[in-house]
Structure 1
């Protein structure tokens, strides 16, 4: 029965997404305690998403106590004063819904997608997470083991699992972006219970959060429910986001990494890029689209199809709030040499820096960006996430509707100039990512 309910829910999500085309209508307001609330109504299917985004990620941690934000992603599923340990996900599943959470360097996001008649369940769960969590030694020890197992599966024993860690630790010297959200297991082992409690009280407060309700619901009824469940949550001290300045990279940082989980090497280049609010960040996203999105992209066509010297090649921006990383990579096919792959990638980057893309390619690029924009807002859960992102990072919820206009305003000349500005060979981290047995 449970699987059938979830299957029906997935179908309804698809049907709801099919009607979400261009403009996303929303309303927003604040509770007295500072909780920002956003509504997006879509009555095309009886499905609703309740989500909460907290403006806290691994960048809010201190050296020696890394991994706290990701740890709380797990810990806040432990239970509350009114929810027994291990019951949180069961409540969602028994209601015919699904839920999840994730943590980045900049924020932590929780959501439940439920049949619309279970809206109150989702609101109650998120209010319990915010108001009545149980943070004790039992929960900390339990989730400590869960996080360790996740690290073993997703990083330690995963092919190329350490690539982000290796890149960011070299790309950043001052910013907490130099460590990954999963953090250090030694730091988590050393942390005391009162340190976890202090971290929660500082960051998981209503004035550092946004609550989104998206889907099929009655506005007036939902406002009353939100007031009932969230108005009593006490406002916390104002959270001031940390600021860190990185000095420009003026000489390539070249290094070698050995990975026991791989048999095929890789070549990775990473360039420091501006934060997600900077216009140049949007331009770099377009550059990566030209270089590697789809089989007809420049790198894939050249290296995978024509020269056949790469099994896989790509370029993508890892966009974050304060800075970002623009990453290119290639995995060789057969006996192809890493330096030959690097040369091929660099040649295409130089073309981006010195030549205007053709009018035909520019129109194709605009079409891809529009298609990506529409696909990003399919389904109520995706819309809920994008609304929360727009408010949290840009203080402009309507970015969900205006982002495409930014891409449309970018010129061919801008693409060339931004590629030249950020993607110089003297501005990068260059990693030779090799099998351990080749050491």
Structure 2
């Protein structure tokens, strides 16, 4: 009885904490199509200004991959009113920080400032949208930056090429088969006119969302947004009609070789639905159950108890159109990859066959409650979430409601989704090997 009372108390406490974290926001559109989201929080003198563009690697010409990631760098080069190379200096000299990220579906730029620099942040992002300078010198400079990044993070990094090998085997038709960083020969071959055309098509107000989160006054912020962004011309409408993948009905076997590793790895991947599909949240929960922390099923069994693996993990790579569910493990000593595959499949088969225990289910719920609270604990995190929920999910209010989806997932649903997507005939089995094994 004491355990049951404690469990009920813990659930009520977590629910109360989550409710206290409700994010209030206002959203509206400018005439040029720019979507604006405002989250006012005057508890600390900090402001986050961000712009998310609905453009990622999937939007590229297959003969010009890497453009979206390239523009992540290129649009820091300078504008008509910001001297080349001065962007970061302007931000840091006003006590701020900033960065950008790109993936398959979107590109996200942001700055965080003391709140008295809201106007500066809005000016910077309006300059990026309206007045970017795209010339051959800037293209050549960033081309070298991107090549160096690829050398460091992909070509010369241990296990740095595993995602690209998974993607090219899981996807045959959809542009998700390409990498975000792209092919360097595509960037080398691109003309200045092609870069300019890409910017004009995708980096427009009607393909973007502007988010302000933090310490500001609503009316003042709205006036500045209008002053800096309302005159930016609307871009062309963008239509997307990507080819659909055929279902995977037979196991795909593949090998990849990496000169930067000494220990081989097994990588098992499944193609899963896009992020708007409820099943993607269930798979997120399955991932946490299998490999989040030393008490998770795969880690406890293969690493801790049986000592067959140095490391094991599972994670869902959620994307707008399709997702990937990836399980990986690095063997210990003479343990074979086949043995690891067998042990991993045994745990996944249990998910397909049996309901997880009530105790494990409650642990999952507690973890997702904590993740929810932590994701809304900073203005930077809130700004990012608001932008992505609006642009990719089509529902900004998910910032408060998505936790309800996780709360409503049942043990029976976990079993059902495992049976729907995580079967042996639906998977890629990738042997990721040191390069010296090529001749074998």
Once the two structures are superposed, residues 196-249 of structure 1 have per-residue CA deviations (whole angstroms, 9 ceiling, x without a partner) of 111111110000000000001111111111111001100111112333200011
Q: Measure the CA separation in 1 of the matches of 2:415 and 2:122.
A: 47
Asked whether the equivalents of residues 310 and 332 of structure 1 are also in contact (C-alpha less than 8 Å), the reply is yes
Once the two structures are superposed, residues 135-159 of structure 1 have per-residue CA deviations (whole angstroms, 9 ceiling, x without a partner) of 0000100000100000000000000
Partner of residue 407, structure 1? 406
Question: SS of 1:66's equivalent?
Answer: coil
Q: Measure the CA separation in 1 of the matches of 2:256 and 2:316.
A: 21
Partner of residue 282, structure 2? 283
- 2:179 maps to 1:180: yes
Partner of residue 422, structure 1? 421
Q: Measure the CA separation in 1 of the matches of 2:120 and 2:89.
A: 12
Q: Measure the CA separation in 2 of the matches of 1:324 and 1:275.
A: 5
Question: SS of 1:52's equivalent?
Answer: strand
* Change over 3 Å in CA distance of 1:417–1:19 after alignment to 2: closer
Once the two structures are superposed, residues 294-334 of structure 1 have per-residue CA deviations (whole angstroms, 9 ceiling, x without a partner) of 11000011011100111100111000000011000001122
Once the two structures are superposed, residues 238-282 of structure 1 have per-residue CA deviations (whole angstroms, 9 ceiling, x without a partner) of 112333200011111101111100011100001000000001111
Asked whether the equivalents of residues 104 and 176 of structure 2 are also in contact (C-alpha less than 8 Å), the reply is yes
- Once the two structures are superposed, the pairs formed by residues 25-64 of structure 1 within 5 Å of their partners are 25-64=24-63
Once the two structures are superposed, residues 21-60 of structure 1 have per-residue CA deviations (whole angstroms, 9 ceiling, x without a partner) of 5201111111110100001111111100000000000000
Q: Measure the CA separation in 2 of the matches of 1:19 and 1:345.
A: 34
Higher mean C-alpha deviation, range 378-387 or range 328-337: 328-337
Asked whether the equivalents of residues 64 and 190 of structure 2 are also in contact (C-alpha less than 8 Å), the reply is yes
Asked whether the equivalents of residues 19 and 44 of structure 1 are also in contact (C-alpha less than 8 Å), the reply is no
Partner of residue 88, structure 1? 87
- Once the two structures are superposed, the pairs formed by residues 64-103 of structure 1 within 5 Å of their partners are 64-103=63-102
Asked whether the equivalents of residues 366 and 408 of structure 1 are also in contact (C-alpha less than 8 Å), the reply is yes
Asked whether the equivalents of residues 18 and 373 of structure 2 are also in contact (C-alpha less than 8 Å), the reply is no
Q: Measure the CA separation in 2 of the matches of 1:169 and 1:45.
A: 46
Once the two structures are superposed, residues 110-167 of structure 1 have per-residue CA deviations (whole angstroms, 9 ceiling, x without a partner) of 0000000111111000000000000000010000010000000000000000000000
Partner of residue 126, structure 1? 125
Q: Measure the CA separation in 2 of the matches of 1:198 and 1:331.
A: 44
Q: Measure the CA separation in 1 of the matches of 2:312 and 2:116.
A: 46
Asked whether the equivalents of residues 20 and 378 of structure 1 are also in contact (C-alpha less than 8 Å), the reply is no
Q: State the TM-score, normalizing by the size of structure 1.
A: 0.95
Asked whether the equivalents of residues 389 and 398 of structure 2 are also in contact (C-alpha less than 8 Å), the reply is yes
Question: SS of 1:416's equivalent?
Answer: helix
What's the CA shift for 1:394? Answer: 1.6
Q: State the TM-score, normalizing by the size of structure 2.
A: 0.95
What's the CA shift for 1:354? Answer: 0.4
Q: Measure the CA separation in 2 of the matches of 1:420 and 1:56.
A: 33
Q: Measure the CA separation in 1 of the matches of 2:393 and 2:259.
A: 41
Q: Measure the CA separation in 2 of the matches of 1:378 and 1:270.
A: 32
What's the CA shift for 1:19? Answer: 12
Q: Which runs of 5+ in 1 are unaligned?
A: 1-17
Q: Measure the CA separation in 2 of the matches of 1:378 and 1:435.
A: 42
Q: Measure the CA separation in 2 of the matches of 1:43 and 1:308.
A: 51
Number of residue pairs the alignment of both structures matches: 422
Q: Measure the CA separation in 2 of the matches of 1:21 and 1:282.
A: 23
Q: Measure the CA separation in 1 of the matches of 2:64 and 2:193.
A: 13
- 2:366 maps to 1:367: yes
Partner of residue 201, structure 1? 200
Partner of residue 397, structure 1? 396
Asked whether the equivalents of residues 18 and 372 of structure 2 are also in contact (C-alpha less than 8 Å), the reply is no
Name the Cα RMSD after superposition.
Answer: 1.2
Question: SS of 2:99's equivalent?
Answer: strand
Q: Which runs of 5+ in 2 are unaligned?
A: 1-16
Asked whether the equivalents of residues 48 and 213 of structure 1 are also in contact (C-alpha less than 8 Å), the reply is yes
Q: Measure the CA separation in 1 of the matches of 2:227 and 2:159.
A: 47
- Once the two structures are superposed, the pairs formed by residues 17-416 of structure 1 within 5 Å of their partners are 21-416=20-415
Partner of residue 7, structure 2? none
Question: SS of 2:212's equivalent?
Answer: strand
Q: Measure the CA separation in 1 of the matches of 2:322 and 2:284.
A: 14
What's the CA shift for 1:397? Answer: 0.5
Asked whether the equivalents of residues 103 and 180 of structure 2 are also in contact (C-alpha less than 8 Å), the reply is yes
Question: SS of 2:167's equivalent?
Answer: helix
Higher mean C-alpha deviation, range 238-247 or range 154-163: 238-247
Asked whether the equivalents of residues 40 and 215 of structure 2 are also in contact (C-alpha less than 8 Å), the reply is yes
Q: Measure the CA separation in 1 of the matches of 2:430 and 2:18.
A: 45
Asked whether the equivalents of residues 25 and 40 of structure 1 are also in contact (C-alpha less than 8 Å), the reply is yes
Asked whether the equivalents of residues 269 and 428 of structure 1 are also in contact (C-alpha less than 8 Å), the reply is yes
Partner of residue 437, structure 1? 436
Question: SS of 1:166's equivalent?
Answer: helix
